[in-house]
């Protein structure tokens, strides 16, 4: 760009910012709101004190624009005013502040269209709760304790159930282990969305001590809540709940509850469940067949290998085949490992194969067979295996990730860099 044009551009920005600062004192709420929006566009942290002053504005629209502008600036200095905004009595302001706090640690979390819609339509946000939420910050991201405390206050005492639910979601995304007591408290809510988001957050945080504290939800009358509680029970390895899970598998009339119960049992295999796994391996329901295979694999009885091989050969559905291949690898037949690796090339199935590989990679023999594919695999395989090593790799895995960080594909290289940072934080 011509230097004169560049100079004119910055001068124009300065003039706009100057006009915006003048408009902050306008009697018109619309002009004050527009001024806040302009200051946000400037990305100048020196405007944050001015924007913070607007948090006391009597007009909701003005306060909303001020918070959105702070999110847009996105600097460390924005955290304190965003925490102040999280105390606002207006639910939509609380929600904007919560999203802004998450966005600082997980850039891109706040979408421009969503922010605009919230400012315009208030708390009409039910669509967000239908989204699959798998976001979580990397292990090397350190969240300020006061941010977690601010989010915990909203989760337990927000001015709407929507703001409480989204704050619970935020705590999960930020892996806020110190907020587990607040999340346990929210499970006593009468609002299903708050309970669901809190259960999912507890799963992401992974504190196994939390499992027994929501066992009462395993028989909740809300099917989504019951399923989420069953899922979290398996993920957090709450063995106290095994009798309840077995009873749900036998007696529940809800297919999705029975599937979730068998999946949870498969994550905590014990001799009392082995007959159930063997029986469901030939069930008409493909999801039950898949869970049964995983349970047999984790049970570790090599006598089940032939049964699993026959089931794999006769299986027509891809998901159960992946589970059966995983089970056979657990039973020390790594000839099925390429099947899982091939699934990483599938947009539809890589989400199933990657968790299996994460679990297998905890075993040195399986992990050693993955390293060559970090170098010679497809781009999709390289990226997904980098994620596997971030979770299950050891110090010996670092040289492979460092080599991959020089891959000619920029997406692969970036994923390798991120994985290496995550692995170093975990070691």
Each of the 427 residues of the chain gets a pLDDT tens digit; together they read 455 544 444 434 444 455 678 888 888 999 999 999 999 988 899 999 999 999 999 999 999 999 999 999 999 999 999 999 999 999 989 999 999 999 999 998 887 545 555 555 444 555 566 666 789 999 999 999 999 999 999 999 999 999 999 999 999 999 999 999 999 999 999 999 999 999 999 999 999 999 999 999 999 999 999 999 999 999 999 999 999 999 999 999 999 999 999 999 999 999 989 999 999 999 999 999 999 999 999 999 999 999 999 999 999 999 999 999 999 999 999 999 999 999 999 999 999 999 999 999 999 999 999 999 999 999 999 999 999 999 999 999 999 999 999 999 999 999 999 999 999 999 9
Per-residue pLDDT, 8? 44
Indicate if 277 and 184 belong to the same structural domain.
no
How far is CA 311 from each of CA 126, 271, 278, 314, 364, rounded to the nearest angstrom?
42, 21, 11, 5, 27
Per-residue pLDDT, 263? 98
Q: Does 9 map to a domain?
A: no
- Of 99, 109, 110, 104, the residue nearest 79 (C-alpha): 104
Indicate if 366 and 378 belong to the same structural domain.
yes
Q: Does 5 map to a domain?
A: no
Global model pTM greater than 0.75: yes
Indicate if 48 and 167 belong to the same structural domain.
yes
Indicate if 425 and 369 belong to the same structural domain.
yes
Q: Does 12 map to a domain?
A: no
Indicate if 349 and 403 belong to the same structural domain.
yes
Per-residue pLDDT, 10? 41
Indicate if 159 and 188 belong to the same structural domain.
yes
Q: What is the CATH number of the domain that holds 288?
A: 1.25.10.10
Per-residue pLDDT, 108? 87
Q: Does 47 map to a domain?
A: yes
Of 250, 268, 286, the residue that ends a domain is 268
Indicate if 121 and 230 belong to the same structural domain.
no
Of 176, 206, 236, the residue that ends a domain is 206
Contacts of 43 (CB under 8 A, 6+ apart): 72, 73, 74
Q: Does 362 map to a domain?
A: yes
Q: Does 1 map to a domain?
A: no
Q: Calculate ∠ Cα 188-192-193, nearest 5°.
A: 110
Indicate if 87 and 142 belong to the same structural domain.
yes
Indicate if 226 and 99 belong to the same structural domain.
no
Q: Does 8 map to a domain?
A: no
Of 268, 296, 314, the residue that ends a domain is 268
Q: Does 378 map to a domain?
A: yes
Indicate if 113 and 168 belong to the same structural domain.
yes
Instruction: Find where tokens 């259960």 sit.
Output: 199
Instruction: Find where tokens 């949870």 sit.
Output: 264
Per-residue pLDDT, 21? 81
In three-state secondary structure terms, 408 is coil
What does the alpha-carbon distance between residue 368 and residue 157 come to, in Å, rounded to a whole number?
A: 49
Write out the residue range of the structural domain in which residue 359 sits.
342-427
What does the alpha-carbon distance between residue 129 and residue 17 come to, in Å, rounded to a whole number?
A: 37
In the chain, the number of structural domains is 4
Are 211 and 238 in contact by the 8 Å Cβ rule? The answer is yes
Indicate if 238 and 194 belong to the same structural domain.
no
Per-residue pLDDT, 279? 97
For the stretch 170-209, what's the b/e string if a residue is b when 16 or more beta carbons lie within 10 angstroms of its beta carbon? Answer: bbbbbbbeebbebbbbbbebeebbbbbbbbbbbbbbeeee
Per-residue pLDDT, 127? 59
Indicate if 188 and 218 belong to the same structural domain.
no
Residue 214 in tokens: 């929501």
């Amino acid at each position: 760009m011509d230097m004169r044009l560049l100079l004119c551009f910055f001068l124009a920005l300065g003039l706009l910012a100057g006009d915006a600062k003048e408009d902050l004192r306008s009697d018109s709420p619309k002009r004050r709101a527009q001024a806040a929006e302009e200051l946000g566009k400037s990305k100048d942290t020196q405007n944050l004190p001015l924007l913070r002053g607007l948090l006391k504005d009597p007009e909701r629209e003005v306060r909303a624009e001020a918070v959105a502008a702070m999110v847009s600036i996105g600097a460390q200095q924005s955290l304190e005013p965003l925490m102040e905004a999280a105390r606002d009595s207006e639910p939509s302001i609380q929600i904007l502040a919560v999203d802004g706090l998450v966005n600082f640690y997980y850039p891109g979390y706040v979408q421009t269209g969503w922010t605009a819609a919230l400012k315009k339509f208030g708390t009409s946000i039910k669509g967000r709760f239908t989204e699959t939420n798998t976001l979580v910050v990397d292990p090397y991201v350190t969240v300020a304790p006061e941010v977690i405390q601010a989010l915990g206050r909203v989760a337990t005492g927000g001015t709407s159930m929507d703001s409480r639910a989204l704050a619970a979601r935020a705590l999960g995304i930020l892996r806020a282990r110190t907020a587990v007591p607040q999340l346990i408290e929210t499970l006593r809510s009468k609002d299903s969305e708050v309970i669901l988001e809190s259960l999912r957050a507890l799963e992401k945080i992974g504190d196994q001590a939390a499992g027994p504290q929501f066992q009462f939800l395993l028989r909740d009358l809300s099917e989504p809540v019951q399923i989420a509680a069953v899922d979290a029970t398996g993920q957090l390895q709450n063995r106290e709940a095994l009798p309840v899970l077995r009873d749900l598998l036998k007696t529940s009339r809800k297919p999705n509850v029975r599937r979730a119960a068998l999946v949870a049992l498969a994550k905590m295999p014990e001799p009392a469940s082995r007959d159930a796994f063997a029986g469901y391996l030939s069930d008409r329901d493909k999801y039950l067949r898949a869970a049964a295979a995983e349970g047999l694999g984790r049970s570790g009885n090599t006598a089940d290998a032939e049964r699993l091989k026959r089931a794999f050969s006769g299986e027509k559905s891809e998901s159960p085949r992946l589970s059966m291949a995983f089970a056979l690898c657990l039973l020390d037949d790594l000839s099925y490992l390429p099947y899982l690796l091939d699934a990483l090339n599938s947009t539809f199935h890589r989400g199933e194969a990657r968790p299996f590989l994460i679990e297998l990679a905890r075993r040195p023999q399986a992990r050693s067979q993955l390293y060559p594919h970090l170098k010679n695999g497809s781009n999709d395989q390289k990226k997904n295996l980098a994620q596997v090593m971030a979770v299950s790799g050891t110090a010996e895995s670092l040289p492979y990730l460092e080599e991959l960080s020089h891959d000619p594909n920029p997406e692969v290289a970036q994923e390798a860099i991120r994985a290496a940072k995550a692995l170093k934080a975990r070691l």
